[in-house]
A and B are shown apart, each in its own frame.
Chain A
Amino acid sequence: KAGVTQTPRYLIKTRGQQVTLSCSPISGHRSVSWYQQTPGQGLQFLFEYFSETQRNKGNFPGRFSGRQFSNSRSEMNVSTLELGDSALYLCASSLLGTHAGGELFFGEGSRLTVL
């Protein structure tokens, strides 16, 4: 079956702009998590959605938001971009959700560069 699909794979934005990233989970998976990966901070949890509800949220400012649709597809949005938002954004889907120890299946990520 198809894996986790993230779009776009690469994008370049300027400071102050906003960006929307998309994630299509594995068919049947209801949990979608988002992570930010940077060389300095490593992998940091952004949020998890399960059946359209935000189940958990990491320690990021309100500029970072997300949502999940009824077909389990998820989007995350970053408004008023800052240089420090440059990162690889990884989406992961899970059948059970992380709270139940469900295995995460990761997409290849969306690499955002903010100039």
Chain B
Amino acid sequence: AQSVTQPDIHITVSEGASLELRCNYSYGATPYLFWYVQSPGQGLQLLLKYFSGDTLVQGIKGFEAEFKRSQSSFNLRKPSVHWSDAAEYFCAVVLYGGSQGNLIFGKGTKLSVKP
């Protein structure tokens, strides 16, 4: 079955430290890949997306993600975390070219930032 796995439920990092959030997917073909962020009491906001081409994609708020086909991964990174980055982060995929593709989300990783 198609699935998205975010192995880390909760991560705590110090402000200014680097961050990497993991995401793995199980699809036979290359999907569209997304990272969304959800602040408390809010809806989700798109950070970045990968469709094709350069496997390192840049997003908003200083985030980037790298697609690695061999590892079926799409990890999110940020070189220096700010306190305002504390939120929940969701990886999502949709099967490329599917006529009825729907976005499948991982369970999310909650990020806490220590001062």
Contacts and interface: CB of A to CB of B under 8 A. Distances in A.
Q: Is the interface of B mostly helix, strand, loop or mixed?
A: loop
Q: Is the interface of A mostly helix, strand, loop or mixed?
A: strand
A4 interface: yes
B100 A99 contact: yes
A108 B39 CA distance: 10
Contacts of B103: 33, 45, 98, 104
A103 B51 CA distance: 11
Contacts of A43: 90, 105, 108
Contacts of A84: none
A101 B43 contact: no
Interface residues of B, number: 25
A45 B99 contact: no
A55 interface: yes
Contact of A56 (B34, B46, B90, B101): B101
Interface string A94-115: 0000110101111111000000
Contacts of A101: 32, 49, 51, 94, 96
B87 interface: no
A98 B102 contact: yes
A90 interface: yes
Interface in B82-115: 90, 94, 96, 98-108
Interface of A: 4, 33, 35, 42-43, 45, 48, 55-56, 58, 90, 92, 98-99, 101, 103-109
21 contacts: A4-B43, A33-B102, A42-B108, A43-B90, A45-B104, A56-B102, A58-B102, A90-B44, A98-B103, A99-B98, A99-B99, A99-B101, A99-B102, A101-B94, A103-B49, A104-B46, A105-B46, A106-B36, A108-B42, A108-B43, A109-B43
Interface of B: 32, 34, 36, 41-46, 49, 51, 90, 94, 96, 98-108
